[in-house]
Chains A and B, each alone.
Chain A
Amino acid sequence: MKRRARPQGWLSDVDPTASAIGSTAAVLLTAAIYAGSRGLRNFDAALIGYATATIFLAFGVTYRYVVWVQSPPTRRYLVKGWKAFLSWRNFRRFPTLVPKAVVSNLAFQTFIKERGMGRWAAHQALFWGVVGATLITFPLTFGWIHFRSAAGTESHYEMYIFGIKTVTFDALSWLGWLTFRGLDITAVLVIAGCAYFLWRRFRDREAMTGQHLAHDLMPLIALVAISVTGLLLTFSSALLKGRYYDFLALLHMGTVVLTLVFIPFGKFFHVIQRPASIGVQIYKRTSLEDKGPFHCKRCGAAFETQTYVEDLEETMSELGLGFEGWAEHCPRCKRVERGIAYRAHVKEGF
């Protein structure tokens, strides 16, 4: 069996399907920005760098996602996972399966707790910091949310969502403080999480083994840079009477834009991949109920499910591996059988 030859030239590496779907995503987001900002009337031109980078991000992330789901194992899980998720029968049988998996795997990432409490706490700080900052920043830069000072008041603001007036609040109240300091709070959370992980990357030999500057350290450095420059904006307006604000705003936008453009290519892409674990969980749980467990052909011990082993064999066959039958043996039996064969045919009776 030979390795697949790589196509020559970078253009031949471009996936036309992924390009088309990625471009559609970018166009849809642009249209949503236009419509959501009421024909750009509520769009803040000073934030155009953020919006442009986000449109590129939509293209990049969609492109990579489409390329990713085309590989045989991913495609199979994607189809089977969605089928299991959208099945009414499965919903009736396991009504809490998906909500539980979403809360435990995606929101609170309890599996990281098993790797270490410090890592879990740091990841939670990082996660909620990033989620909060994203929920605040994206609608603002798209012009979907904007604020106006309420007529006839000194410190009251009106919040508009998609051009529709929603709440009026006092900037000096706790709601006002929380609204205008939301990004500062998320920045502190992100810095705390990143600080722990950076410390770990320099001190923990488990983390240091095989780490790469671009893959493992740059994402943390980028998040710290965004958060620190963001906090410096507050520092400038609160304590320096706005001195250096313009320069700091440009610096902050530069760090954000570079990070957004980097997302499809680097470690951040795991944010897009992670929900696949929910699909896998639903697929495994429901296929266990449907066809039951699979039993090792040699020792008879139950492992995985009938459906899982059939699907894995199909994936292996599609990849042209040629030893699909081995998937029907548990890992220990594979090793023992190889030992028996070695003893019988290579070094007799060792």
Chain B
Amino acid sequence: MMNRTLFIDPGRCIGCQACVAACRECDSHRGRTMIHLDYVDEGNSAAAMPTVCMHCEDPVAPCAQVCPADAIPVGPDGIVHTAAKERCIGCENCVHACPFGVPKLDLTEMLQYKCDMCYDRTSRGLSTMCATVCPTGAIFYGSYEELLADRPHSRASDLFGFSDSLVQTGCAMVVPAGRESVSVPGGYV
């Protein structure tokens, strides 16, 4: 995982949508939210799941690999950026190849949009918009050491299992202590 990154803890999420609203305020994608907030068992439970771009490290950015226009740049710091506006041809490969379901596409603008970990803020040492406003700490921005200092009984995992494949990411999920060496399941496909 990256040195300073996002840690997601769905167990703390109360589904308030503050992250969604804050993300929308960002200058780099005005009025459009990059974070997803899904209700896992709608109608039966309040459980909610915030999803940001996990900035896949290994394999490196599948979204960028399946892009036929080489439009998605991956920075030396591991940040997988939104597709370059002049290159995106609107094919949606990134949207459907991402195992986390992160990128969005606006076909009228022929533009892909995805979370770039608030690059305009984090590249200057600031926290992401979503982590800044999250009232419960379900989205935490910082180093792993800072997370452990804040939550001594928690650990984090940056390894996800999809079918028989493992995906290592730049962001991480908060897991209970003792479970950090096991991959987080990507779903039931």
Contact = CB atoms under 8 A, between A and B. Distances in A.
Interface of A: 1-3, 68, 71, 73-74, 76-77, 105, 111-112, 114-115, 205-206, 208-210, 267, 270, 273-274, 276-277, 280, 297, 303-304, 309, 312, 315-316, 319-323, 325-343, 345-347, 350
A342 B185 contact: yes
A277 B110 contact: yes
14 contacts: A3-B59, A74-B69, A115-B111, A206-B30, A277-B110, A312-B97, A323-B163, A334-B100, A335-B38, A338-B186, A339-B38, A340-B188, A342-B173, A346-B176
Given A68-B70, A321-B62, 14 more contacts: A1-B166, A2-B58, A74-B68, A209-B120, A276-B89, A303-B96, A315-B97, A332-B38, A334-B99, A336-B49, A338-B101, A342-B184, A343-B40, A343-B47
A339 B187 CA distance: 8
A2 to B, nearest CB: 7
Contacts of B48: 339
A313 to B, nearest CB: 9
Contact of B49 (A3, A312, A316, A338): A338
A330 B104 CA distance: 11
Nearest to A326: B99
A339 B47 contact: yes
Contacts of A325: 163, 189
B96 to A, nearest CB: 5
A312 B119 CA distance: 29
Contacts of A327: 96-97
A315 B163 contact: no
Contact of A337 (B60, B84, B97, B187): B187
Given A1-B58, A335-B101, A323 B162 contact: yes
Contact of A73 (B67, B95, B98, B167): B67
Interface string B30-69: 1000001010110000011101000000111010011111
B39 to A, nearest CB: 8
Interface string B86-125: 1101111101111111111010111100001001100100
A82 B189 CA distance: 34
Q: Most A CB atoms within 10 A — which of B29, B97, B109, B111? A: B97
Contacts of A309: 96
B10 interface: yes
A243 to B, nearest CB: 40
